[in-house]
Structure 1
């Protein structure tokens, strides 16, 4: 069953947000800031997941694309409003949302940093970055936001 703003209360956490940013416990992430994945784009949503593996991709890609030099960070978060399946994943790559990826127009509250998590091998990360660059060159790096 698709998760929509009207049908999300059955989805239970914990939830995670991968990022390049250093955040404090208790702070709230809000939409309206620049996208980590498309230069010059302001994000209308905040993205999160119920899987650490998916958050690891978010952390590593945001860090690599932002040239931060570290592997990124993963935070345990609490959505402060309704949310829906992330159509960038569920409609394009993984029907049925096996990555448990969501987005919201509401805030996410940071509950804690996840200190221990497994990142991807450098060659796997490079392959993903190369694929994203190829999509950009083809004009196919469109984000539904």
Structure 2
């Protein structure tokens, strides 16, 4: 996997993963400017990714659940095609450092492959996360810094 320079002093080595509800093919590109999986009506300025399959699994499972799909979504191996930075929504804001190994970019992410077998979070954990998101939304605190 390619090794790219982050928008800071640290290099991050892949592989990189993206979790989503979307059905994509190798060679497809994820680009900013599309609707958020997590806030209806919001157009995103960045595309998000991670080096941890478990973090990508959250993205896939939550996106699928919020869209009322009957599956767990999909996790892809991706290649960032431009500069990227730590995701400020979790880095230091919610967790010191970047334990979720989450990043964002305004450049495309190229789909390299779909992971067919990835560890799913248990249904009760997904439900708890969805309940937490609903509580944040009800309090007006479901802010995405994008």
TM-score of the pair, normalised by structure 2: 0.94
- Equivalent position of 2:100 in the other structure: 99
- Equivalent position of 2:44 in the other structure: 43
1:114-139 C-alpha deviation (Å, 9 max, x unpaired) = 11111111111100000000000000
* Higher strand proportion (structure 1 or 2): 2
Q: How does 1:124-143 map to 2 (within 5 A)?
A: 124-143=125-144
Contiguous gaps of at least 5 residues in structure 2: none
Q: Tell me how far apart the structure 1 counterparts of residues 143 and 133 of structure 2 sit (CA, whole Å).
A: 11
The 4+ residue runs of structure 1 with deviation greater than 4 A are none
TM-score of the pair, normalised by structure 1: 0.94
Aligned length: 142
Contact 1:6 1:82 (8 Å CA) reproduced: no
Contiguous gaps of at least 5 residues in structure 1: none
SS of equivalent residue, structure 2 residue 62: helix
**What is the Cα-based RMSD across aligned positions, in Å?**
1.2
